[in-house]
A and B are shown apart, each in its own frame.
Chain A
Amino acid sequence: MDAIATEGLTKHYGSKWPSLRRVPGPGPVRALDDLTIVVRTGEIFGFLGPNGAGKSTAIRLLLGYLHPTAGAAHVLGLDVATAGAHLRGRIGYLPGGIALYAGLTGVQLLDYLAAFYVRPPSLRADLVERLELSRRDLGRPIRDYSRGMRQKIGIVQALQHDPELAILDEPSEGLDPLMQRAFYAILDERKAAGRTVFFSSHVLSEVERVCDRVAIIRAGRLVALERVGALLARRRRHVEARLDAPAPALIAALAGLPGITSLEARDDRLAFGLDGDVVALLRLLEGVPLADLTIEPARLEDAFLELYDEPARAEPPW
């Protein structure tokens, strides 16, 4: 069973008829268009896109806050449109920029939210300890909490009942680097326990660090869906080589090697871009008098920016 499966999930806001539109414009707002993804049980799935790309709309559709204009979504094997409260009992959700009951103390809030579930908050003590929320912190009203503290409480409320699926919207927002590291370790343990994490973010380094696969959406449309490793393997690396002696034959050979771009040679230095496999390059460099070689790792950020640099697909007629 897949943790999440969407089929042509689409959400448009507003009316086709101008007189019924709240916001003037050429037509309905297409927040999400034809999203088809599968999130496998036990994986950490990254959902990427800049602000306004449709990430939150997709999440709200999965949770039943929004009703799709077209398409369907199944979460933990249940149809979101009909599953209702039973399904949400198996999910943990951290909204982006979470709002909490300011008048409650941390422990009152956690008790209140946990009391809706059949499952006991079995992970609370561990999460509280690892996110360094002291007993004193939990006894203070939430209105006195810093942004980072609110985010920690948000993470605890989402995960304390050991949900089968955690949907986390910008979860590390406001966490300091130490707490981010603790949070990533928690996610790794969720995965090791066979739980699924659906992780929305625009912090690409953390997605690269924790996610198995990523979906990238742009203007409400899916533009990439693959393993992080595969996405990076296809991306351009920057290579710099310093030679002990000039090697004109090497330059000619490099120019003919598939995947080599922007080749620059100056004195004993070579610089170029490398798309795809490094093995062919390393074979070519065998026996070459190298003084130094630097291959910068491909970064998700580059892949992301590359996908966003591509021209948008043709708009459908309305």
Chain B
Amino acid sequence: MVSGNLFRRTWAAERVRLSLVMIALAIWGFLLPVVYATFGSEMGALASNPAFANVFDVMSRFTGGDVFSISGTVALGLVHPIALALVAIAVIGFAAGAVAGERQRGTLEVLLARPLERRALYATLLVAMLLFAALAEVAILAGIVAGAALFGVAAGLRTIDLALCWLNGVALFGALGAVALAASVSFDRVAPAMGIALGVTIVGYAVDFLGTLWPNAAWLLPISPFRYFEPTRILAGTFDPLDMLVLAALFAAAVGWAAWIFPRRDLAAPS
């Protein structure tokens, strides 16, 4: 079902962008334990001051983590908008252009003239997208663990929690990437596919942001995929496995749509 030849070509085409993103994510992850080790205790004391407690609470909710504890540092590394944007470049950027880009450039018809089923093409790109998501999340966690180990603050980190955080991140970006890939197989041009992919991601993030900070909008939270990305709860030991199932359901729905529509749609001559 998966084409090794297409997979190798996809990897070769994406490896530079993916490598740059992974390096940026690793540096990002590495810096957070450094900040925690350097300023964490002072910042923690400041945060516990009743005069600033509310401000720090809002800030930590906004960023999804903090640098007052090693678990808060890990959570911050994973859910901060900088990290999310970097992973999105590697995963959603790739997925949205994967088929629509080939179609727009006219190379899809050269590719599909080979003995390659459309479903095999889709499955190969889906596997590549999941691999990119997995590697991007590994890069952040590797940076965090390296930074924490180097600065002697790794004692509070449990491997199982880190593995769950990784899995939760892969599930989030796997689901968003599957939506992007479903959009990509549905359109002849990159712009509408990218628009849908970024729309779902940005609106999802905005809804999560709004619902977290504004109690009156909290009812919106369940519709955001980001609501189910919970490193803070994983590290606190209060993770709800249902979160993972919701992301898996979104992934399955997007894959189901793509697997249904792609073999059935007409691929007219490029205009």
- Give every chain B residue within 8 A of A293 (Cβ-Cβ): none
- Give every chain A residue within 8 A of B115 (Cβ-Cβ): 85-86, 88-89, 116-118
- Verify A84–B117 contact, CB threshold 8 A: yes
Q: Which 5 pairs across A and B sit closest by C-beta, in order of nearness?
A: A99-B106, A89-B115, A116-B114, A93-B113, A85-B115
Residue of A nearest to B107 (CB): A99
Contact pick for A63, options B9, B106, B113, CB 8 Å: B113
15 A-B pairs besides A89-B115, A93-B113 with CB distance below 8 A are A56-B269, A57-B269, A60-B267, A66-B267, A66-B268, A67-B266, A84-B117, A91-B113, A92-B113, A96-B269, A99-B105, A99-B109, A99-B270, A101-B107, A157-B110
A312 touches B (CB below 8 Å): no
A171 touches B (CB below 8 Å): no
CA distance A95 to B267 in the complex (A): 13
- Verify B13–A103 contact, CB threshold 8 A: yes
- Give every chain B residue within 8 A of A116 (Cβ-Cβ): 3, 5-6, 114-116
Interface string of B93-109 (1 = CB under 8 A from A): 00000000000011101
- Verify A88–B114 contact, CB threshold 8 A: yes
Q: A88-B113, A95-B110 are in contact. Are A112 and B270 (CB under 8 A)?
A: no
Residue of A nearest to B3 (CB): A116
B158 touches A (CB below 8 Å): no
User: B-side binding surface: helix, strand, loop or mixed?
Assistant: loop
Within 8 A of B (CB), among A72-123: 84-86, 88-89, 91-93, 95-101, 103, 112-113, 115-118
Interface string of B7-21 (1 = CB under 8 A from A): 001000100000000
Question: How far is the CB of B197 from the nearest CB of chain A, in Å?
Answer: 22
Within 8 A of A (CB), among B100-143: 105-107, 109-110, 112-117, 120
Contact pick for A99, options B110, B114, B120, CB 8 Å: B110
Q: A86-B115, A157-B110 are in contact. Are A112 and B267 (CB under 8 A)?
A: no
CA distance A58 to B230 in the complex (A): 53
Residues of A at the B interface (CB closer than 8 Å) are 13, 56-57, 60, 63, 65-67, 84-86, 88-89, 91-93, 95-101, 103, 112-113, 115-118, 157
Cβ contacts A to B, 10 pairs, < 8 Å = A60-B267, A65-B266, A66-B266, A66-B268, A85-B114, A88-B115, A93-B110, A99-B105, A116-B114, A118-B115
Residue of A nearest to B105 (CB): A99
Q: A85-B117, A85-B120, A89-B115 are in contact. Are A98 and B266 (CB under 8 A)?
A: no
Residues of B at the A interface (CB closer than 8 Å) are 3, 5-6, 9, 13, 105-107, 109-110, 112-117, 120, 264, 266-270
Contact pick for B116, options A56, A85, A97, A101, CB 8 Å: A85
- Verify A95–B5 contact, CB threshold 8 A: no
CA distance A153 to B9 in the complex (A): 19
Q: A99-B105, A116-B5, A117-B115 are in contact. Are A60 and B269 (CB under 8 A)?
A: yes
- Give every chain B residue within 8 A of A91 (Cβ-Cβ): 113
Which of A56, A65, A67, A93 has most B Cβ within 10 Å? A65
CA distance A60 to B265 in the complex (A): 13
- Give every chain A residue within 8 A of B268 (Cβ-Cβ): 13, 57, 60, 65-66
- Give every chain B residue within 8 A of A117 (Cβ-Cβ): 114-115
CA distance A115 to B268 in the complex (A): 26
Question: How far is the CB of B118 from the nearest CB of chain A, in Å?
Answer: 9
- Give every chain B residue within 8 A of A93 (Cβ-Cβ): 109-110, 113
Question: How far is the CB of B269 from the nearest CB of chain A, in Å?
Answer: 5
Q: A60-B267, A66-B266 are in contact. Are A95 and B106 (CB under 8 A)?
A: yes
- Give every chain A residue within 8 A of B13 (Cβ-Cβ): 103
Residue of B nearest to A104 (CB): B9
- Verify B9–A112 contact, CB threshold 8 A: yes
- Verify A95–B109 contact, CB threshold 8 A: yes
- Verify A113–B114 contact, CB threshold 8 A: yes
Residue of A nearest to B115 (CB): A89
- Give every chain B residue within 8 A of A60 (Cβ-Cβ): 267-269
- Give every chain B residue within 8 A of A88 (Cβ-Cβ): 112-116
Which of B5, B105, B114, B116 has most A Cβ within 10 Å? B114
Question: How far is the CB of B157 from the nearest CB of chain A, in Å?
Answer: 41
- Give every chain B residue within 8 A of A115 (Cβ-Cβ): 5
- Give every chain A residue within 8 A of B109 (Cβ-Cβ): 65, 93, 95, 99
